[in-house]
């Protein structure tokens, strides 16, 4: 029996289904603002439901803002050249070592370690901003010190971003999309305001924002956690649907990595067109970049709220590849005003930030490895490819100054990225049709078994199918997530937590957490009570 419900790091006594909890939220199913009957929520309902995300949105936005102000010069230009992508390669080298340790040792980081590491990383991020401000005030030209500070800032700010993404694991498409694109919008506003200040003052202002992550950590513990927010089920044709059913598919993972990686090469080349040097913005084009990024992000949020979840698969790639094409056209059309093309290139880079965050949360939610494994993997593919392309361009353009060749290379990369991703989506859609046909066949098979007309099917198969049906019925009644329904079906069959974890390719700790949430949401206290409820109230 699991009478306790863990929420945001604290353990609360179990509450009856409609009693208010200690933090003032309604208990169990009543705490969700969605309709208990499963009726579709309006965009306004969803926004009110996801207002619980504000601590995470603010924390993620402030963590990113510190990185961009320190290492990217607040995007007064496309970036800071070697001080950006060169520093990124150093940070990625350290992260790669950590990635190998997690992968080979199958390490799972506990909450106490991640919280302590987060506090240290926030302090180091603030330190680098203050140190960079001091160098600027002292008018000290020390490239080595500046490079080292940028590399350190890139490393620790990446870790703070991982922390906020980790807190959002276990959620669904709508909540994840609202989280990452709202954070991107907020961070863009903060970064733009810093461009209006002197460099040193901007660094100090960013320091204050970075330190606000500390109260955000405490604030987040008192709010409903993302995995407990009911905001509509994920569709089978979005990244959360893919990862739930295909997390073990090496083909899908490889295709996603290749698509993002190839497009990231394009981003690296576009941001330093044509020689690899950073492209400076004018006040007008800097404002245009910020407004375009905020406008597209707002449109993505609006579409997701209206049920257009496919915008985060095929749609987002079409938008990003269109931006890459527009950047190439603008560079060619306005060779004396490269900042016009840089508007599209930098917007593309910002959208890739939010999209990668989104994909990382999806794999964190359904993968069996530690969440930091997926976060670092995303960084290695996305930022690694971008940084290598940019540094290679800086080192090779003087040797082979051929803009036509580079344009052809970038165009080819855009085509390859589109083909890899879209072909894979077509394959997945084909699998969805096949799985739907198989599901219909299984349902017909269940009917045959119930009627006693089967000759070769086992009684165990009938029981498993019946239990899955009962779990789905309870899931609709108590607003359980798709994963919680899967856990409930196996748990009600008598599986131990360890065996549930093995069947679903998750850790025993994750299975234990799902079972605790099932008890909390349903108001039941034991496996037998679950079985009794199924017998009495499910058909």
Domain boundary among 431, 449, 481: 431
Residue 423 inside a domain? The answer is yes
At 520, which CATH number? 1.10.10.10
Do 397 and 481 have their domain in common?
A: no
Same domain, 255 and 370: yes
Give the number of domains in the chain. 2
Whether residue 155 is found in the same domain as residue 22: no
CA–CA separation, 429 vs 270, rounded Å? 32
Mean pLDDT within 493-514: 85
Cα distance between residue 240 and residue 233, in whole Å: 10
Residue 443 lies in a domain: no
Domain hosting residue 194, numbered range: 43-230+247-431
Residue 444 pLDDT = 45
The CATH number that applies at residue 352 is 1.20.1250.20
SS (HEC) of 248-275: CCHHHHHHHHHHHHHHHHHHHHHCCCCC
Digit-coded pLDDT (tens) for 20-78: 333 333 333 333 333 333 445 677 776 776 788 999 999 999 999 999 999 999 999 99
Asked whether residue 272 falls in the same domain as residue 180, the answer is yes
Asked if residue 465 has a cis previous peptide bond (ω within 30° of 0), the answer is no
State which of 431, 446, 471 marks the end of a domain: 431
- Residues 214, 122 within the same domain: yes
Question: Domain check: are 73 and 18 in the same one?
Answer: no
103 pLDDT more than 50: yes
In a domain, 314, yes or no: yes
Within a domain: residue 238? Answer: no
Same domain, 130 and 257: yes
Nearest to 170 by CA among 536, 506, 534: 506
Out of 431, 448, 469, pick the residue that ends a domain: 431
pLDDT of residue 534: 85
In a domain, residue 448? The reply is no
Give 43's Cβ-side CA count (13 Å radius).
10
Tens of pLDDT, residue by residue over 299-336, are 999 998 888 877 888 889 889 989 999 999 999 899 99
Domain annotation covers residue 378: yes
Report pLDDT digits (tens) over 393-448: 888 876 666 777 777 878 888 887 777 777 766 665 565 555 545 555 544 444 44
| Residue 356, both tokens | 């990668």
- Between the CA of residue 345 and those of 66, 187, 258, 358, what are the distances in Å? 21, 18, 20, 20
Please give the backbone phi and psi of residue 432, each rounded to the nearest 5 degrees, phi first: -60, -40
Contact 470, 492 (CB under 8 A): yes
| pTM of the shown model | 0.76
237 lies in some domain: no
pLDDT in tens, 131-148: 999 999 998 889 999 999
């Amino acid at each position: 029996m699991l009478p306790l419900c863990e929420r945001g790091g604290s353990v609360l006594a179990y509450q009856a289904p409609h009693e208010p909890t200690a933090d003032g939220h309604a208990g169990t199913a009543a705490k969700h603002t969605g309709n208990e009957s499963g009726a579709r929520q309006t965009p306004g309902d969803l926004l009110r439901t996801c207002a619980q995300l504000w601590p995470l949105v603010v924390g993620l936005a402030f963590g990113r803002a510190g990185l961009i102000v320190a290492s990217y010069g607040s995007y007064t230009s496309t970036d800071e050249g070697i001080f950006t992508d060169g520093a990124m390669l150093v940070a990625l080298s350290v992260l790669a070592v950590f990635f190998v340790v997690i992968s080979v040792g199958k390490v799972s980081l506990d909450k106490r370690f991640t919280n302590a590491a987060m506090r240290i990383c926030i302090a180091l991020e603030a330190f680098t901003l203050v140190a960079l401000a001091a160098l600027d005030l002292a008018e000290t030209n020390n490239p080595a010190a500046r490079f080292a500070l940028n590399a350190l800032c890139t490393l620790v700010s990446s870790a703070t971003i991982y922390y906020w993404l980790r807190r959002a694991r276990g959620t669904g498409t709508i909540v994840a999309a609202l989280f990452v694109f709202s954070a991107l919008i907020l961070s863009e506003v903060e970064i733009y305001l810093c461009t209006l200040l002197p460099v040193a003052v901007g660094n100090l202002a960013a320091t204050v924002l970075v330190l606000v992550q500390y109260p955000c950590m405490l604030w987040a513990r008192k709010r409903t956690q993302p995995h407990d927010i009911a905001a509509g089920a994920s569709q089978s044709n979005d990244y959360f649907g893919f990862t739930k059913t295909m997390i073990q598919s090496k083909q899908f993972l490889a295709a996603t990595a290749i698509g993002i990686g190839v497009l990231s090469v394009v981003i690296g080349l576009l941001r330093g067109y044509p020689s690899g040097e950073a492209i400076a913005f004018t006040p007008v084009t800097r404002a245009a970049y910020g407004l375009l990024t905020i406008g597209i992000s707002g449109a993505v949020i609006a579409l997701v709220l209206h049920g257009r979840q496919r915008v985060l698969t095929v749609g987002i790639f079409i938008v990003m590849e269109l931006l890459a094409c527009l950047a190439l056209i603008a560079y060619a059309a306005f060779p004396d005003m490269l900042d016009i093309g840089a508007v599209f290139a930098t917007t593309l880079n910002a959208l890739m930030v939010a999209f990668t965050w989104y994909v990382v949360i999806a794999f964190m939610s359904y993968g069996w490895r530690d969440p930091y494994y997926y976060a670092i993997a995303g960084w290695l593919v996305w930022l690694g490819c971008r940084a290598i392309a940019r540094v290679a361009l800086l080192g090779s353009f003087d040797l082979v100054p051929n803009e036509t060749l580079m344009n052809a290379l970038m165009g080819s990369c855009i085509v390859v990225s589109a083909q890899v991703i879209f072909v894979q989506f077509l394959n997945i859609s084909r699998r969805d049709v096949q799985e739907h046909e198989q599901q219909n066949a299984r349902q017909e098979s269940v009917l045959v078994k119930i009627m006693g007309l089967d000759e070769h099917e086992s009684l165990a198969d009938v029981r498993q199918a019946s239990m899955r049906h009962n779990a789905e019925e309870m899931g609709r009644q108590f607003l359980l997530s798709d994963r919680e329904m899967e856990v409930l079906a196996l748990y009600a069959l008598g599986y131990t937590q360890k065996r549930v974890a093995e069947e679903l390719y998750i850790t025993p700790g994750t299975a234990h957490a799902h079972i605790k949430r099932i008890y909390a949401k349903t108001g039941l206290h034991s496996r037998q009570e679950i079985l009794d409820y199924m017998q009495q109230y499910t058909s």
